[in-house]
Amino acid sequence: MEESSNSSEKGFLLLGFADEPWLERILFIIILLLYIFNILGNTTIILVSCLVPKLHTPMYFFLSNLSCVDICFTTSVAPQLLVTMNKKEKSVSYGGCVAQLYVAMGLGSSECILLAVMAYDRYAAVCQPLQYTTIMHPQLCASLASIAWLSGLITSLIQCSLTVQLPLCGHRKLDHIFCEVPVFIKLACVDTTFNEVELFVASVIFLVVPVSLILVSYGFITKAVLRIKSAAGRWKVFGTCSSHLIVVIIFYGTIIFMYLQPAKSRSKKQGKFVSLFYTIVTPVLNPIIYTLRNKDVKGAWRTLVMKNGLTQKIYDLYV
Q: Residue 286 in contact with residue 66, Cβ under 8 Å? A: yes
Q: Which of 126-130, 180-184, 259-263 has the lowest mean pLDDT?
A: 259-263
The runs of H, that is alpha helices, within 193-308 are 193-203, 209-226, 231-259, 268-276, 282-292, 295-306
**pTM (2 d.p.):** 0.86
* pLDDT, tens only, 89-137: 778 888 888 999 999 999 999 999 999 999 899 889 888 888 888 899 9
- Asked if residue 6 is part of any domain, the answer here is no
Asked whether residue 318 carries a pLDDT value surpassing 50, the answer given is no
Which pLDDT score is estimated for 130? 86
Q: Confidence class of residue 3 from pLDDT cuts 50, 70 and 90?
A: very low
In a domain, 118, yes or no: yes
Number of domains in the chain: 1
Run of H or E residues at 70: helix 58-75
Number of helices (H) and strands (E), helices first, in the chain? 15, 3
Parent domain of 42: 12-300
In a domain, 140, yes or no: yes
pLDDT (average), residues 215-244 = 77
Query: According to the per-residue pLDDT averaged within each range, which of 159-163, 169-173, 287-291 is highest?
Result: 159-163
Task: Say what the pLDDT of residue 53 is.
Answer: 79
Domain with residue 151: its CATH number is 1.20.1070.10
CA distances from 310 to 3, 42, 54, 68, 301 (A): 57, 16, 16, 20, 9
**Residue 67 CB contacts under 8 Å (≥ 6 apart), including other chains:** 41, 42, 43, 45, 46, 49, 286, 287
- For the ranges 55-69, 138-152, 170-184, 199-213, which has the lowest average pLDDT? 170-184
Within a domain: 306: no
Question: Does residue 48 have a pLDDT over 60?
Answer: yes
| Residue 312, pLDDT above cutoff 80 | no
- The tens digit of pLDDT for each residue in 6-24 reads 555 567 888 888 788 888 8
Residue 44 scores a pLDDT above 80: yes
Question: Which residue has better confidence, 73 or 313?
Answer: 73
Measure the CA–CA gap between 29 and 280, rounded to whole angstroms.
13
For residue 281, tell me if it sits in a domain: yes
Mean pLDDT of the chain: 83
Can you give the pLDDT at residue 235? 74
pLDDT of residue 1: 43
Predicted confidence (pLDDT) at residue 315 exceeds the cutoff of 50: no
Q: Are strands 173-174 and 12-14 parallel, antiparallel or unpaired?
A: parallel
Residue 4, in any domain of the structure: no
Is the residue at 73 inside a domain? yes
Has residue 83 been placed in a domain?
yes
The backbone torsions φ and ψ at residue 128, rounded to the nearest 5 degrees and listed phi first, read: -130, 55
pLDDT at 291 over 70: no
Q: Are 111 and 66 in contact (CB under 8 A)?
A: yes
